[in-house]
Chain A
Amino acid sequence: MRRASLLVLLYVFLMPFCASYMQAGNVLEPPQATVSGTVTDTSGNPLAGVNLVVESKHIGTMSGLDGSFTINAGPDDVLIFSMIGFKTLIVPIAGREDILVSLEEDVTVLGEVVLNAGYYTVSEKERTGSIEKVTSVDIEKQPISNPLAALQGRVAGVDIQQNSGIAGANFSIQIRGRNSIRTDGNEPLYIVDGVPFSSGSLGEQQTSASILPGGAVSPLNNLNPTDIESIEILKDADATAIYGSRGANGVVLITTKKGKAGRTEVQFNILSGLGQVSNTLDLMGTSEYLAMRREAFANEGIDPIPDNAYDINGTWDMDRETDWQKVLFGKTAYLTNIQGSLSGGSDQTQFLVSGNYHRQTNVLLGDYHNDKVSAMANLNHRSDNDRLRFQLSANFSSTRNDLPASGLVLSATSLPPNAPELYDENGNMNWENRTWLNPLANLEGVYRSKASNLVGNARIGYRVLDNLELSANVGYTETHIKEINTWPSTRYAPPFDAITGYSSARHNVGQRTSWILEPQLSWSPKLGDTRFNALLGMTFQGQQDVRLSESASSFTTNSLIENRAAASFLSIIADIYEEYRYQAVYGRINVDHKGKYILNLTGRRDGSSRFGPDKRFSNFGAIGAAWVLSNEDFMANGLPWVSFGKLRASYGTSGNDQIGNYQYLDTYSFGNDQYANVVGLYPTRLFNPDFSWESNKKLEFALDLGLFNDRVMLNAAHYRNRSSNQLVGIPLPATTGFSSINANLDATVENTGWELGLHAVNLRSDAFQWSTSLNLTLPKNRLVAFPDLEGSTYANRFVIGEPLGITKVYQMEQVDPETGLYEFTDFNGDGNISSVEDKQVLRDLSPKYFGGLTNSLVYRKFSMDILFQFTKQLGYNLWGRGAMPGRMFNQPREVLQRWQTIGDQVEVQRFATSSSQEARTANTNHSQSDAAISDASFIRLKNLSLSYQLSSKQDNGVGCLLFLRGQNLLTITGYNGLDPAIRSNGTVPALRFITLGTQITF
């Protein structure tokens, strides 16, 4: 049975169509007979594209559109039918000439799930490495615009954080923890349809930083989630070593949808929805606020109220009350997504074309929206004799994001509630005699990005011999971005608003092209009960980045602010041309003995232009092994309820070259400054020609179990990754002239952890099905070694034996009952609270554990999916803002528990104005103390999807599915701040979306 299924797999995945070879080989065979028949599902619908092979021979074919097949086989032969999503069936011909076969659907996860491992595919049952897959079924259930959002809560070991609720904002991702001491060296490698997709931004910080947290726009936003068939995450050494120097932080493989054989199918997906911020702060109202201000001045003994305390000296109306959060970021966001696709094809040729339009407006005051139009086309072909395979795919997207030039959240949470009207009687921006900074000023400027993105990929393979295939993967990507950020003079209070000489704009135009060529040879012989898969390939890759950023200022009129020609002064912020070349040879040998013992060896030799001439090449490799226990007789006989059992382990190395280009060179750059008509040259960096790869050694042990005929699947994995030879921009004091230097540091970072997965089909009947999936990750990060940490510039950031995510803070003791000011532990006893030596309390901001729980229920035509995401972690709370209670900032209502009179034992210091240096210092220290860091754990109802099958295509010719989906519906948290998942007080929290849509298929 097992051997048979292995054979099936061999055929399914390697497509060995050897009938013609057999004939060409002039090998004598017993007399041939022809067998024909039809394959259907259990309801009798014909199944196209079912693989069938004759067990004893190397002959295979596929069923046609009507489910029919014809194959040469003797009367004693055995046929094996297999298809993804169905249980494999073994049918002895037993002399029949016409065979009717019906395949049973395979509801268990494991089935014959095929995983894309990048350069090869492997079945879920036979994998030796750690690979997780999220398919379009799950991705499509979420109203999202960034593919990474689809992975939140679904994949063990992958920590994904949203940076902001603003449309188009980035997500940050860490696979199995932070390996690099550098904060910017922890990105995984992204591969879209075999083509590496650089996630490095082409944006210019200066244009986008003030509105999009996490810096410039990410190219990943350009990918359309609904075009994605699956996302595979490669985690351990066995899976990532074949990516060599780029695999240290894991690999994310994105596979776009492909056409399927069958009748031509047209599908429309239409969805629209409403979104609002998931949370706002409980701030003080006008009376509480004014009382706070008066108390602050009274505490300082300041009387009368100074001229510039406009909020309480009568300049502003003290009866006004505005909920600035509602006004500034309380709008309803609208989401629309329309998708159409056309697919179909024959056995040999399949195609898919699809187009998508996505629009999301923002919750910010003003009219801002993010639009994305994308299209994809895909063509597959295999030749008559099945020797030639060809696949072509192209994805194109165009994105436009309109945002204000800077955010409104900080204003919204700090403006006094009695601050003046936004508009005066004439509808103009109200500056109230220049006594306040009208938040509308932020909206005078715009940030707009337009990006387009093309990923093209062709694969061609030719089967030279039955088990030897020569193939090539050719890819090309092109990304363009155009950004503009304007700061018109109208953002200043009169009289400056009219001085257009103060207006400025920043432009950024970037382009990235990359190509890849990967010839590959694969050979899969079989010797007795042992099956081999060998692979040898090479990579040639080139990437060019071109970017021009300009600053234009002083315009004759603001209406021409976007026109560089209208500016009196133009200066260049950056004119960049960068080239990256990469070359490698890689290989894999996989040995599978009787389906019980599997050994997988992978390796790569890499060369990258990012390193100095003597440090360019390096070797990486891994060994992975699996023992399929359930194929052993003792298991099959002794524990029949264990339907599947596998122990696997892997060990190997991979690397990290995310350091930027040319860093090893001692260069001078042309700046944007002129002096006496000479353009300045400045030293680009402190250089070090000898730095090299960061190396990462990964070890993993895992157990995969299937119980009760695979109705319950359990996975447990323990990993240990050690990253050494850390490639670090070592921070330097300014006395060196630079803030850092790139060097390899002999420090070691260890990530260990447990990943647990459970999938259970709880109930299964014809009418009702219920399944549950749970994943849980318990990560642990530790700085193992750091030579001379004490004497290094990292002394105040890291501690050996502690996680990299720690931050050192003061220890808040109490609010001094005498003075009413915060008191901190004076660790060094010098009588002062000073930064280095008194920041002795460690707080780890990385998650303690996280995971997700999914329940899927199907009742007749209804189905429901519920995803809960949970994380246990700490985070900076509202006190981390450092806004001092008593100054002209609104505050959360909890400041009402402040110190008032001598003897008060409270948590919040007395209200004070900025003229009190002690109060300011105490408040600043408080914002850098353990009191500013608190629990930011949460359980979030991330996704709820309800759908109803109004009509089925099989029955009526037209399929119609109605669905209602909600995102971020509910958050259970004790976090003192806007959003525990974002953990920032300066940006829009995640939006709560409810969408309604329909899918029509015909």
Chain B
Amino acid sequence: MDIPYTVEIRRDTGLTNGKIGIWLFLASEVMLFGALFASYILIRVGAPSWPRGDMFLDVPLATVNTIVLIASSVTMVMAWASLMRRRFQTYRIYMGLTILAGLVFLVIKYFEYSHHFHGGELPSTNNFLAIYFTLTGLHGLHVFGGMVVNAYFWGPGAKLWKTNPVWFTNRVEHSGLFWHFVDLVWIFLFPTLYLL
């Protein structure tokens, strides 16, 4: 049986099922990260003193990562726009760049983490590092998850373009929504953890 409302609009919601599904998922993600941000506030407010992020963390590297992730959001939306223009090869280039940017982000994060670990700075060292590793670790997992989905749509999943281009375009739009959300979370994580 075919999945309903993948391409056609439902009359009651005015949306495809995939679109409402991804937004409901993102709503749950907002609450997941929200709970951790609330924990950060609680721990910071309750602490007798709190270090500035740049005492422990590498701000230039994180700034580069911010630029990389924002750039990846642009390539992601350009990948979708390429499908809308029926330019599949251009889509492949932009989607490839998005995956590559995700990889660059994670490699930079790996260097940051390994620098901390070699310096004996672990999640158990203090509350600041505990919340830093928790928030950035969860965010990194989201980046990895987004990369896996994008890689699927770049590779084997792209077969759908030949048989049902509109459905494929919708799927790429939905994975793009997740990717932009991951970017959005980082936009708040960066100043909160590194600069304040």
- Are both chains from one complex? no
A interface residues, Cβ below 8 angstroms from B: none
